[in-house]
Amino acid sequence: MDDTIDAVQADRDLKNKHRAMWALGDYPALATDIIAGLGPALVRASRIRPGDRVLDVAAGSGNAAIPAALYGASVVAGDLTPELFDAGRRRAAELGAEVEWREADAEAMPFADNEFDTVMSCVGVMFAPHHQASADELVRVCRPGGTIGLLSWTPEGFIGQMFATMKPYAPPPPPGAQPPPLWGREEHVRALFGHRVTDIVATRHTVRIDQFRSPEDFRDYFKTRYGPTIAVYRNIADDPARVAALDHELADLARRFDHGTDGTVMNWEYLLLTARKW
């Protein structure tokens, strides 16, 4: 009994840390400024139609939920960090999109079995720590014949390599937690879903990033706006040498991916995967 109570408390503490991390900085601004095109790309790939009942898992400020609503779908945006919803509500109101915002843990969602025609996540569910639990929930709340659509950063792409760069400076992950970029490997996602889905279509794409004046500009932008990066810097804040080392490594990473001639231009790779639930 004590072991069960301890495990429940440990999971609750972990989720509280995740919620606090994503509330740091200004993820809604980053999603709008840098990767606004990803949500519409996922909506198109998921073939969302007017009247569909759609769930956006780990929706953040609605980067995919709002475009789905503009297609005429009935959309629920769920996220562990409801602090992100205010920006989403403002953006939805500006565009005339109707979205229902619900606090929801991707690993234990407050929705009924088979409730949605489409269940999607745009660089969201990949950050839930327990991949199998999240995959099970994606399948559970999708109706038979419905669509599961996922857009995830790849391990080899820029964001996957950014997390690899930050890993030595971050606290050790809790037992059982898996690296987010694994969702960017088709074979990993296939293993998570198993025989519960069919008609899997997985393709790799890139998004062009040209908003930064220099590699250092990219680094400083993420240091102030992206929760995971902010959290890593806070972990080493009392060690100036390590802060300087991470500063150098993040700028160098952007420099290695840069193929621009006037400012920094990068292509960030992601996996776009859709499947149909049996």
CATH of residue 183 = 3.40.50.150
pLDDT value at 3 more than 70: no
In a domain, 127, yes or no: yes
The total of structural domains in the chain comes to 1
- Per the structure, the complete domain to which residue 83 belongs is given by 1-207+268-277
Amino acid at 7: A
Cα–Cα distance, 149 to 194 (Å, whole number): 15
Give the per-residue pLDDT at 7. 60
pLDDT value at 4 more than 80: no
The whole-number average pLDDT for the span 62-82 is 98
The whole-number average pLDDT for the span 205-225 is 97
The whole-number average pLDDT for the span 107-118 is 98
For residue 116, what are its two tokens?
A: 């949605």
Q: pLDDT digits over 5-38, tens only?
A: 556 777 888 999 999 999 999 999 999 999 999 9
pLDDT value at 231 more than 90: yes
Percent of the chain with pLDDT over 90: 92
Identify the weakest region by mean pLDDT among 147-161, 180-194, 222-236, 256-270.
Answer: 256-270
Give the per-residue pLDDT at 73. 98
In a domain, 225, yes or no: no
Cut 0.85: pTM above it? yes
In a domain, 241, yes or no: no
In a domain, 144, yes or no: yes
In a domain, 261, yes or no: no
Give the per-residue pLDDT at 34. 97
In a domain, 256, yes or no: no
